[in-house]
Amino acid sequence: MADVTHSIGSSGGGRSRCTIGLAVVQTVADRRGVEQSELPPLYDWVDPEALERIFDAPASDLGGERRFVFDYAGHTITIQQKDRLSITVGEAATEPTAESDSGDESRSDA
């Protein structure tokens, strides 16, 4: 399956009101062909507020491109910002199981 990329904002202005975290979840949902509600919470992998802080200032203020890569729900997520912010969803090394998506609370050792 090919990587999916979602862009936020434009070279002439700031981002839309869409948060980066929401855009990550939507892009993964689009790639899988599922609803956002079918995916695990993003905050189990990364702090969505930290993503906002990393990419909040214009790239020109920091002297160039920013890039952040992490795994989420069986996919490698790459967020880049130069003239515009883009989110690319690729495959991760392994697909998480239903148990790893839901956490240890649902497992029974009985």
DSSP label of 69: E
Question: What type of residue sits at position 25?
Answer: V
Q: Round to whole Å and give the CA distance between 25 and 12.
A: 25
- pLDDT at 79 (0 to 100): 93
28-86 pLDDT, tens digit each:
999 899 999 999 999 999 999 999 888 886 655 666 788 999 999 999 999 998 778 89
Report the predicted TM-score, pTM, of the whole model to 2 decimal places: 0.68
